[in-house]
Chains A and B, each alone.
Chain A
Amino acid sequence: MTTSGIDARQESILTKGRQKHSLKCDTDSIAGCVSQRACVYCGARVVLNPVTDAIHLVHGPIGCSSYTWDIRGSLSSGSELYRNSFCTNLQEKDVIFGGEKKLAAAIDELVAKYRSNLVFVYSTCIVGVIGDDLQSVCRQASQRHGITVIPVESSGFIGNKSAGYRAACDALLQLIDTAPAGAKIPRSVNYLGDFNLAGEAWIIRGYLEEIGVTVNTVFTGDSSHDGLRQTTRAALNIIQCAGSMHYLAGQLEERYGIPSLPVSFLGLDDTADSLRKIARYFGDETMLHRAEELIERETQRVMPVLENYRQLLQGKKAAVYVGGGFKAISLIKQFREIGIEVVMVGTQTGRPEEYDTIGQLVREGTVILDDANPAELERFMKEQAADLLVGGVKERPLAYKLGRAFIDHNHDRKHPLSGYAGTVNFAREVYSTVCSPVWDAVKERGGLPPWMTPSSAT
C-alpha cells in the first residue's frame, strides 16, 4: 500500500521530535476509513458486561447481541448469567409499530426464567431512531417485578466508544443512587476499571487484602447487583482504566464525596508505586510496611525470571495499538522492563492528556497516532521495524501477514497481565511469540520456498 492516508489524517499522526503540532484525537472518524474503532453500544457493553448476575438484554435486531455474546473474557466467581445472549430480536413490524411492548414482554419472560435482581436494557441504533421510550418501559418493569431495570442509552450513532463508557457509568450510577446508604468501611476501596480479564482483578484483590485494604467492589470485573449497591461504603476509589471510569469516579466524588486515586497494576514499577500510593493515602504505617514487604517479596520472586527474558528480548521493538491511552502508557513502561522499546504507539480513544504522557515517555522518533487504519499500522510497523504488535482481534492477522509477532492485550487475552504474576505472563507471552521458530519460515530468504530465488519470484 502506498496510501499513507488523506490530508485530514495528518493531524492525527506525529513522530516525536519532528513535529510541533499536538496530536488531534478524541474526534469522530472520517467516513470511508477502515477504522479500527467501535461504537457507543460497544463501549457501554464492555463496561457493563462483567456484571455477572445481571440480565443483559439488548433491545434491537439480533446483530448487536450476537457479536457481544460472551466475548469479554471477564471471569466470575459466582453467577454465569452474563455469559448468555439476550435480545428482543426486533423485526420489521416492530420497527414500524414500535418495540416497547416486545421489550416489556421480553423483560417479563427473562425475569420469570432467571430471577435476577438486575436487568440492563441496552438501546441500539434503531431504538434511538424509532424512539421507544426505554425509560418508561424500564421503570414500569422495575415496579412490576420489584427489581432494578436500568436503560442504557447506547444507540450506536450518538458518539464513539467513549460515549458508551459514559452511558455505562450513568447506568451504574442509577444502580448506586437508588441503593440505601450503608456505613463506611474503614480502609476500603472500590477498584475501578478492571474487568477481571483472565482473573486479573482477583490478583489485585489478593495484594490489597494482604496489605490490609478491603476491596468493596470492583467496577466491573466479577461484580454483582448486591456488591455494586454497596459502592458508597468505600473510603476511596482507585482507578485503573481511566478511559472508561474517569467520569464515574468524578460523579462518585461529587455525589458521595469518595475521593479517587489513579493507579496502575501493569508492570513492576507501576504496581509497586500504586500499592505504596494506596497505603500512603490511608496513612497507615502497618499497611505501608506490609506493602513494602509484599513489593520486596514479589519483586525478588519475579526479577530473576524477568531478567532472563530481558536478555532474550533486549533490543526488540514493539508497536502498540490499543483501545485506551491508559493501557498504552502502561505498555510502554512494561516493555521497557523487559528491554523492549516501543517504536509506534496508537489508541482508538486516547485523551489529549494521555497523549501528552505518551509523548513524554517514548523516545525520539517514535510514531504516535490516533484512530489508525490498517494501512497506517502496516506502514509504521514496517518503517519503524517493529518485531511485535500489541492489539486486539482485528490487528492480529494483520501483524501475522506482515510476519510480525503479536500479543492480544484486549478481550482475547488468555493470561492475566496485571500485578507481579502478570509481569511474568507478559514477558512469557512476548517471548513465546517474538522468539517463535514459525517466523523463520517468513524471514529466511524473505519467506520464499527453497526452489525460488528472489528474482524469479513474482
Chain B
Amino acid sequence: MLDCTRKDSKERNSGGLINPAKTCQPIGAMYAALGIHKCLPHSHGSQGCCSYHRMHLTRHFRDPVMASTSSFTEGASVFGGGANLKTAIKNVFEIYQPDVMAVHTTCLTETIGDDIPSIIKSTEVPEGKVVIHANTPSYQGSHITGFSNMTKAMVSYFSEAATTVKKEQVNLIPGFVNPGDMREIKRLTQLMGVPFIMFPDTSGVVDSPLTGEFAMFPKGGTTLPQLADTGNSKMTLALGRFASSDAADLLAKKCQVPEITLKTPIGIKATDAFLMALRSRFTREVPTELEEERGQLVDLLTDTHFHFHGKKVAIFGDPDIVTGLTEFVVSLGMIPLHVLTGTPGGAIGSASGSFEEDIREILGPQTSPSNVKAGGDLFTFHQWIKNQPVDLIIGTTYGKYIARAEDIPLVRVGFPVLDRSVHSYLPIVGYRGAMRLTEMIANALLDRADRDAADEDFELVM
C-alpha cells in the first residue's frame, strides 16, 4: 500500500526527516540567479547537484533551465575546488558568454572551506563581465534560504547609492514565486503608476515564449544597470519575510533605502497592504481598474462564501506562501487545521519560531488550537490529518500521496508542482490571483461534492 504512514504518533527524536517539505539551499540560489538578465547560475560542487536542481526546476517550470557546474572530483575535494572554479569561470565566459556568472556553493564546497571571494578575485574575468557568489550550505535552512542568500548577493555586488536624492521608484523583491506571480506584481505596480525595479525577476526566463529558437539566455531578468540602480530607489518592498527581507535589510544598510516587509500579496488583505504601501509612499491614487478588480473579487467571494465556511483545510509549503494562503483561507471562513512548512522557523540569524507566531496571529484565539509547525515534514503532516481529518489540502505536488491515501482533494500551489502544467504562468498573488485561488479551491470542493453526492442529492445548480 502506498500509504506508509501510521496514525499513532511515535515520538521522533533523531532529527531525520521522512518525506520532506523542503529542499536544499542551492536550488533556491539557482532559481534566484535565473532572475538576473543574461546570467548563468553556477553550482560549485559535484555534478549531481547541478543536474538535480536543473531537473527539478525543469519539471516545475517546463522550460529549459541552464546552469553550469564545477564538476568536482575526488582530487578537488581533497585539494580544494579553487582550480575547478577558476577553470569553470574561464570556460563559462568562453563558451556561453553570459553577462553574469552567479556562483553558489554546495554542502561539499562549504565543508571543505573553499574561499569563493578570493578565488573569484584571483581569476581573470573578461572585461564587462561579472562573477558574483552566494554561500548556500545545504545543511542550513532550505531552498528559501538559498533564494534569499542569492538575492542578498545581488544587493551586495550590484546595488549602489549613486544619487543623493532618491528616485521616485520602488524596489520589488517578489520572493520565491512563479513568473506568473512576478508579472502580476509588476502589473499592479504599473497600474499604480510607480516606476519599479523587480529583482530577481524570472519572468521572461522560465516562462519564455516558443519561437523555434533555443535561447541560452532568454529576454527576461533584471538587468545589471537596474540592479545597480536599486540603491537609488525611494523604498524597497520585500514580499515575504523568509525569501526577501534579508536582501531588503542589506539594501537599507548599504544604500539607505528604507524597506517595508510585507506578506506575499495573496488574498485581499495582503494585496490591499501592498497597494496601500505604494499609495502612501508615492502619493498615488489607486486606479479605477484596480478598484474594479477588487470589487469583482469581493463580489465573487460573497457569491461563493457558503461553499467555504467552516471547511477544514491543511496547508503546507514554503513559509511565505503558506502564511499568505493561511490568511486568505481564514478570510474565506475556512479553518486551517494543520499548517506546516519544511523551512526552519526563522531566517538564519533571526529569532526562530516566528513562522509559527505569524500563523498563530492569523488564526487568532482558537477553542481547539490548530497544528502549526516550522521545520516539519510530510510524515508529521500526514499523521496530523489522519488524527484530525480535513476537507481540503493545499500544497505542492508532494501532497498527492496524502490526498490519495486519505481521499481528500488537493489544490496544488507552491513549489514544486511536478504533475500539472500552466500553473507557473498564472498568478496566485493580487486580486486576480485571489480570484484564481478561489476558483481552484471552490472547484476542488465542489467536484468532490459532485463525486460523493447520492443520486437524490446530486444537484445541477450549486
Contact = CB atoms under 8 A, between A and B. Distances in A.
Interface of A: 1, 3, 5-6, 28-42, 57, 60-69, 80-81, 83-92, 94-95, 102, 105-106, 108-110, 112-114, 124-126, 128-130, 156-160, 373-375, 378, 392-394, 396-398, 400-403, 442-443, 446-447
A283 B10 CA distance: 57
A129 B139 contact: no
B108 to A, nearest CB: 4
Given A39-B46, A398-B64, A6 B55 contact: no
Interface string B8-50: 0010111111111011101100000000000010100111111
Contact of A401 (B73, B85, B213): B213
Contact of A402 (B23, B26, B214): B214
Given A32-B70, A38-B47, A447 B212 contact: yes
A95 B111 contact: yes
24 contacts: A30-B71, A31-B70, A32-B42, A35-B71, A38-B51, A39-B46, A39-B51, A62-B24, A63-B24, A63-B138, A84-B4, A88-B15, A91-B140, A94-B139, A95-B111, A112-B10, A129-B112, A156-B72, A157-B46, A158-B73, A374-B66, A374-B216, A401-B213, A402-B213
How many chain B residues sit at the interface, stated as a range, is 35 or more
Contacts of A396: 58, 62
Contacts of B6: 113
B157 interface: no
A60 B15 CA distance: 12
Given A85-B20, A156-B49, A156-B108, 6 more contacts: A6-B91, A34-B66, A36-B51, A66-B24, A129-B111, A158-B73
A31 B96 contact: no
A105 B14 contact: yes
B403 interface: no
A3 B66 CA distance: 15
B16 A88 contact: yes
A80 B404 CA distance: 14
Contacts of A110: 16, 18
B139 A87 contact: no
Most chain B Cβ neighbours within 10 Å, of A108, A113, A126: A126
B47 A29 contact: yes
A67 B57 CA distance: 10
Interface string B125-140: 0000000000001111
A314 B54 CA distance: 35
A254 to B, nearest CB: 26
A374 B212 CA distance: 15
A30 B1 CA distance: 44
A126 B401 CA distance: 30
A397 B24 contact: no
Interface of B: 1-2, 4, 6, 10, 12-20, 22-24, 26-27, 40, 42, 45-56, 58-59, 62-74, 76-77, 84-85, 87-92, 94-97, 106-108, 111-112, 137-140, 142, 208, 210-216, 398, 401
A33 B23 contact: no
B56 A129 contact: no
Nearest to B379: A84
Contacts, number: 262
B58 A394 contact: yes
A33 B63 CA distance: 19
A113 B10 contact: yes
Contacts of B53: 67
B14 A109 contact: yes
B211 A447 contact: yes
Contacts of B216: 1, 374-375
A125 B47 contact: no
Contact of A89 (B17, B65, B85): B17
B17 A62 contact: yes
B81 to A, nearest CB: 9
Nearest to B61: A397
A28 B47 CA distance: 10
A422 B90 CA distance: 45
A42 B51 contact: yes
Contacts of A5: 95
A126 B107 contact: yes
A67 B68 contact: no
Contacts of A157: 45-46, 72-74, 76-77, 108
A90 B18 CA distance: 13
Given A6-B95, A62-B20, A400 B51 contact: no
A456 to B, nearest CB: 15
Contact of B95 (A33, A57, A129, A159): A33
A447 B18 contact: no
A37 B22 CA distance: 24
Contacts of B58: 393-394, 396-397
Contact of B214 (A1, A90, A91, A442): A1
A33 B70 CA distance: 8
A217 to B, nearest CB: 23
Contacts of B49: 39, 63, 125, 156
A38 B48 contact: yes
Contacts of A69: 19-20, 398
A42 to B, nearest CB: 5
Contacts of A36: 51
Nearest to B44: A31
Contacts of A128: 77
A403 B209 CA distance: 11
Given A129-B108, A403-B210, A32 B15 contact: no
Contacts of A124: 107
B47 A160 contact: yes
Contacts of A63: 23-24, 26-27, 49, 52, 107, 138
Contact of A400 (B70, B92, B210): B210
A28 B73 contact: yes
Nearest to B45: A125
A272 to B, nearest CB: 35
A250 to B, nearest CB: 23
A397 B64 CA distance: 5
Nearest to B59: A393
A30 B74 contact: no
B422 to A, nearest CB: 14
A206 B6 CA distance: 35
A33 B69 contact: yes
Contacts of B111: 95, 126, 129-130
Contacts of B22: 62, 66
Nearest to A63: B24
Contacts of B62: 396-397
B23 A62 contact: yes
Q: Most chain-A CB neighbours within 10 Å: which of B13, B26, B68, B214? A: B214
Given A6-B94, A105-B14, A402-B213, A394 B88 contact: no
Contacts of A34: 40, 66-69, 96
A402 B212 contact: yes
B95 A375 contact: yes
A309 B12 CA distance: 56
A124 B208 CA distance: 35
Contacts of A61: 24, 107, 137-139
Q: Which of A84, A392, A397 has the most CB of B within 10 A?
A: A397
Contacts of B91: 6, 30-33
A80 B1 CA distance: 6
Contact of B210 (A30, A40, A114, A401): A401
Nearest to B65: A394
A114 B56 CA distance: 28
Given A66-B20, A66-B24, A157-B72, A35 B140 contact: no
